[in-house]
């Protein structure tokens, strides 16, 4: 008779590819771009960069956290303005190198006081541009006078 039943069977390791994080490809600087979309309206609000630590912080806290390439530091969206973003869903693309995050946005997403950072569009084949939405607040109203 076979002694197979007495031989301990090794369970296959859970493939690392099962994890969300393992699907992602951070760039040479350890970053991925994160597109932020307002879930209830579909309005694309902004794009900013995340490293793995800021993404983990986003998942744990439920508020968007980014990595500032110019200031080389973490920032939570709304930490100065109060205009925080509550995370509803985090999707990633087929190449694993871009995130699409659905949020509930408080106030203006743009530091210039517009609902969306994409408040200007090209016109006349690129010869000009126009502003496409109202400014909700001035930067002074959001951040206070310096």
> Which residues make up the interface to a copy of itself (CB under 8 A)?
18-21, 23, 33, 35, 37, 41-44, 46-47, 55-56, 59-60, 89-95, 98, 100, 110-112, 114, 117-123, 125-129, 132
Q: Which is nearer to a copy of itself, 10 or 94 (CB)?
A: 94
Nearest to 49 by CA among 60, 36, 62, 63: 36
Cβ-based nearer residue to a copy of itself, 31 or 84: 31
**Which residue's CB is nearer to a copy of itself, number 75 or number 118?**
118
Minimum distance, C-beta of residue 146 to a copy of itself, in the bound complex (Å): 18
Neighbour count for residue 96 (Cβ, 10 Å): 15
Nearer to a copy of itself, 74 or 98 (CB): 98
CA–CA separation, 56 and 37 (whole Å): 19
Residue (of 71, 62, 82) closest to 143 by Cα position:
82
Smallest gap from Cβ 59 to a copy of itself, in A, equals 5
Sign of dihedral through CA atoms 41, 47, 48, 49?
positive
């Amino acid at each position: 008779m076979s002694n197979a039943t007495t031989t301990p069977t090794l369970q296959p390791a859970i493939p690392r590819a099962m994890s969300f994080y393992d699907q992602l490809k951070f760039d040479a600087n350890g970053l991925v771009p994160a597109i932020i979309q307002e879930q209830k309206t579909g309005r694309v609000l902004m794009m900013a960069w995340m490293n793995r630590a800021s993404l983990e912080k986003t998942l744990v806290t439920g508020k968007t956290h980014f990595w500032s390439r110019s200031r080389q530091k973490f920032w939570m969206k709304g930490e100065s303005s109060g205009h925080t973003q509550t995370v509803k869903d985090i999707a990633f693309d087929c190449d694993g190198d871009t995130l699409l995050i659905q949020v509930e946005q408080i106030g203006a997403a743009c530091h210039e006081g517009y609902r969306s950072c994409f408040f200007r569009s090209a016109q006349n084949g690129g010869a000009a541009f126009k502003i496409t939405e109202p400014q909700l607040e001035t930067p002074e109203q959001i951040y206070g006078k310096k």
